[in-house]
Amino acid sequence: MKKTNLILPFLLVCMISLSFGQRKKNSKEETPSELLAQSPKLVVGIVVDQMRYDYLTRFWDQYGEGGFKRMVNEGFNGKNHHYNYAPTSTGPGHASVYTGTFPAMHGIIGNDWYDKESGKMVYCAGDESYTSVGTTSDAGKMSPHRLLTTTITDQLRLHTQQRGKVIGIALKDRGAILPAGHSANGAFWYEGGETGNWITSSYYMDALPQWVVDYNNSDAVKVYKKSWTTLRPIDSYAESGTDANNYEGMFKGETTSAFPHDIPALWDANGQFNLLRTTPYGNSITTDFAIAALEGENLGKDDFTDFLAVSFSSTDYVGHFFGVNSKEIEDTYIRLDQDLARLFATLDNKVGAGEYTVFLTADHAAINVPSYLTDQKLPGGYLDMKGIKEHFDEFLKYKYGTTDVVKNQSNYQLFLDHKILNNLDIDLDDAQEDIAKELLGYEGISQVYTGHQMWENDYTEGIPYILQNGYNQKRSGDVLIVPSPGYISYSRTGSTHGSPQIYDTHVPLLLFGKGIKHGSTVNRTEIPDIAPTIASLLGIAFPSGTTGKPIAEVLEFD
CB 489 within 8 A of CB 482: no
Measure the CA dihedral 130/135/139/145, to 10°: -30
Q: Distances in Å between the alpha carbon of 293 and those of 178, 187, 287, 288?
A: 18, 11, 10, 9
Q: pLDDT (tens digit, 9 = 90+) per residue, 97-118? A: 999 999 999 999 999 999 999 9
Residue 19 clears pLDDT 70, i.e. is over it:
no
**CATH: 3.30.1360.150, 3.40.50.720, 3.40.50.2300, 3.40.640.10. Which one for 384-443+445-483?**
3.30.1360.150
Of 510, 397, 544, nearest in space to 76 by CA = 510
Length in residues, the chain = 558
Does the annotation count 90 as an active-site position? yes
Of 38, 39, 37, 46, nearest in space to 510 by CA = 46
Exposure string for 171-181, b = 16+ CB within 10 A, e = fewer = bbbbbbbbbbb
Query: Cα separation of 66 and 240, whole Å?
Result: 23
Q: pLDDT (tens digit, 9 = 90+) per residue, 536-555? A: 999 999 999 999 999 999 99
Q: pLDDT (tens digit, 9 = 90+) per residue, 361-409? A: 999 999 999 999 999 999 999 999 999 999 999 999 999 999 999 999 9
Query: Class assignment of domain 42-369+506-554?
Result: alpha beta
Of 384, 412, 381, 366, nearest in space to 86 by CA = 412
What is the pLDDT, as a whole number, of residue 557? 77
Pinpoint the residues of the chain covered by CATH 3.30.1360.150.
384-443+445-483
Options 57, 88, 90, 242, the catalytic residue: 90
pTM for the full model? 0.93
What is the separation of C-alpha 152 from the centre of its chain, rounded to a whole number of angstroms? 15
Mean pLDDT for the chain?
A: 94
Which residue numbers belong to the known binding site? 111, 172-174
Beta carbons within 8 Å of 359's beta carbon, 6+ residues apart = 43, 44, 45, 46, 509, 510, 511, 530, 534
Which residue numbers belong to the known binding site for substrate? 111, 172-174
Pinpoint the residues of the chain covered by CATH 3.40.720.10.
42-369+506-554
Query: Cα separation of 539 and 532, whole Å?
Result: 10
